[in-house]
Amino acid sequence: MRDGDRDVLIQRTAEALVQTRRAVALTGAGVSIESGIPPFRGPGGLWETMDPMEVAHIDVFRRDPEKVWKLLIEGMQAVLSVARPNAGHTGLARLEQWGYLRSVITQNVDGLHQAAGSRDVIEFHGTFAWQRCQDCESRCATGKVDLSRIPPRCACGGIYRPDCVFFGEMIPPQHLARAQRLMARCDVLLVVGTSATVHPAAMIPLLAKDAGARVIEINPEPTPLTGRVSDYLIQGGAGAVLNDILGCVEELRGLGGHIDTPR
């Protein structure tokens, strides 16, 4: 992609956002890379050193929670506890505040969209901010869990697990239903920083496409959606691309073409 092409696509995206006002974003691990959180796949990804089925499958957790806490959860907690939103997260939050973006459906468990100010966030794979007791289902903020013994335990004696979706588990039905409803009505889907390989989240762009939405990818690399499902790919990091899109949206707003209406 040449620089000129990139500018044209940025401009086209900004116009689509301003005109339609019913955009939704689907985000993945890529949007948080610039916040220092490694993705699962690709260079520097967690799966270069670990087998997902050995550490992130619910059967492994049930069989050996100590191993999963030591290999995966403790490390993730250390990284997530210091991560801060980047320009990708704040860009999406700003688009929502300006009334151009309805919701963010995220596959991430890091809470950075909310930290950036996004209000309507569907945490498709749950959240790492909370732990849930395997036995009594009571929840405790991750930062408050007593980690002096691993695996940590609830007052009832049950083992805590992150309130997120492990491989082998169902997506919470309310999230699935909400995502389906949003896709049936959205005009523009921004697909930001996801390799679109984890199912059923990978189906979301297909649902949008079927409903007639424009599907726009923001990613440094092509994905399985590129050239098949997405209308186009804006190649680059989430922070820089969203920054540029915001700049164009701001110009269009300045031209007075559209007046913000509270939702």
Q: How far is the CB of 164 from ligand NAD (least distance, A)?
A: 7
**How many amino acids of this chain bind Zn ion (CB under 5 A)?**
6
Q: Which of 153, 203, 156 is nearest to 175 (CA)?
A: 203
For residues 215-240, b (16+ Cβ closer than 10 Å) or e, as one string? bbbbbbeebebbeebbbbbbbbbbbb
Is residue 205 within 8 A of residue 229, CB to CB? The reply is yes
Contacts of 96 (CB under 8 A, 6+ apart): 102, 103, 104, 117, 118, 119, 120
Residue with smaller CB distance to Zn ion, 158 or 172: 158
Task: Specify whether the CB–CB gap between 107 and 198 falls below 8 A.
Answer: yes
| Closest distance to ligand NAD from the beta carbon of 131 (Å) | 15
- Annotated active-site residue 125? The verdict is yes
Residues found near ligand NAD in the complex (CB under 6 A)? 28-34, 37, 39-42, 45, 107-110, 125, 193-195, 197-198, 219-221, 223, 237-238
| Binding site partner of 156, from Zn ion, ligand NAD, none, Cβ cut-off 5-8 A by kind | Zn ion
Q: How far is the CB of 53 from ligand NAD (least distance, A)?
A: 14
**Closer CB to ligand NAD, 107 or 131, in the complex:** 107
Q: Which residue is nearest to ligand NAD (CB)?
A: 30
Q: Please count the other Cβ atoms lying within 10 Å of the Cβ belonging to residue 120.
A: 16
Q: Which residues bind to Zn ion, rule: CB under 5 A?
A: 133, 135-136, 154, 156, 158
